[in-house]
Amino acid sequence: MAAHRSPPALGSATIATIAREVGVSAATVSKVLNGRSDVAAGTRARVEASLERHRYRRRARRPTGPGQIDLVFHEFGSDWALEIIRGVETVAAAEQVNLVLSQLGGARRPPPSWLERVIARRPLGIVLVMCNLTEPQRQQLRRQAVPVVVVDTDSASAASVPTVGSNNWNGGLIATRHLLELGHRRIAIISGPPDVWCARARTAGFRGAHEEFAVPVDPDLVRTGNFHLDAGYQQGMELLAAPNRPTAVFAGSDLQAMGVLRAARQLGLDVPADLSVVGYDNLPLSAWSGPALTTVNQPLRDMAGAATKMLFDLVRGVALPTSRIDLVAELVVRESTGPPRRP
């Protein structure tokens, strides 16, 4: 009986091995491998268990000829997405590999239909942005020898997936420290959605800088947004119209910062004389806003490029020295910050 035989070396199993062990046809094993839905649930479970036991993998391929990689966004958000597309495209073009672009309409996990379509094409690899896979999806792709990397703008990915990110906590820290060093003591933060990790990390950095300077944080000044212009504007209007308004705002993203600039203009506040504003991301446009934004450079293009290089290493079977790289976030001081007015 199969169970009594000593198992073959891990990873050396073929479809025939699996079919024999489970007692189904090779065609059935193929269907399971290809994510097809026309296999009975019980059979599928037995085949999957056998595939995992043997660590079944399709043979990896070299990126020759018109290969493709997939770049998957949870959604396209402004300039921000374009910076990442540019970073990935540059590396893919140098490898003479095509770039297949898609977005999940805001979802954080690709739907089952997505995986079926991907497996039918079998790209060389996949770059994910602001989204991730379920463990079964990851297993499926592993068996197909389709490596996955994550451009993690979110500080949220499981360590098991090779990831390039940037240090959001540090970014929040240096942005806030800059304002504290200028003499600000009432500093607001408008961070991203509370369920997004990078937003939490930046807020934690904001608190860290306050601790460093022994300045208490007023809970009224800690706000959240959606990283877009409208949230910066709305929170900015609330914060700046209040009687005890802050003298500085760390806006959590360049787009939110532009929303705050708009609120300040509408209320007749001069930036930076009446209000200092710090953004995050250093989008190309941030140098051109009125006034030019002081911001934290999140090296999106470099992050995307580094993740794509990682992906090609995986495609070639090169072992990665580490499964996570964080690039450095740096402060870029422009015109939107200055010392507070003397009271």
Give the interface with its own copies as residue ranges (CB under 8 A): 65-66, 68, 71, 76, 78-79, 81-82, 85-86, 89, 93, 96, 98-103, 105, 117, 120-121, 229, 233, 255, 258-259, 261-262, 265, 284-285, 288-292
Least spacing, CB of residue 134 vs its own copies, in Å = 21
The CB-of-153 to its own copies minimum distance in angstroms stands at: 16
Closest distance of CB 185 from its own copies, Å:
27
Minimum Å gap between C-beta 65 and its own copies is 7
User: Angle at CA 300, nearest 5°, toward 295 and 306?
Assistant: 140
Cis peptide leading into residue 272 (ω within 30°): yes
Determine the Cα–Cα distance for residues 154 and 103; give it in Å rounded to an integer: 17
| DSSP secondary structure string for all residues of 100-161 | EEEE-TT-SS--HHHHHHHHHH--SEEEEES----HHHHHHHHHTT--EEEEESSS---TTS
Q: Which is nearer to its own copies, 87 or 165 (CB)?
A: 87
- Residues with Cβ within 8 Å of 262's Cβ and at least 6 positions away in sequence, in order, are 229, 232, 233, 236
Rounded CA separation 131/109 (Å): 6
State which H helix or E strand residue 314 sits in: helix 300-315
What tokens appear for 307 in the block? 């993740």
Minimum gap (Å) between residue 336 Cβ and its own copies: 11
Q: Are 47 and 39 in contact (CB under 8 A)?
A: yes
Nearer to its own copies, 229 or 275 (CB): 229
Which lies closer to its own copies via its Cβ, residue 81 or residue 190? 81
Distance CA 208, CA 202 (A): 10
Nearer to its own copies, 34 or 139 (CB): 34
Tell the smallest beta-carbon distance from residue 269 to its own copies (Å). 12
Cβ distance to its own copies smaller for residue 89 or 152:
89
Cβ 320 to its own copies, closest distance in Å?
26
For the chain, the straight-line distance linking the first and the last C-alpha, in angstroms and rounded, comes to 87
Structure-token match 């705050």, residue found: 260
Q: Please say which residue, 75 or 211, places its beta carbon nearer to its own copies.
A: 75
Our CB check for its own copies shows the closer of 98 and 323 to be 98
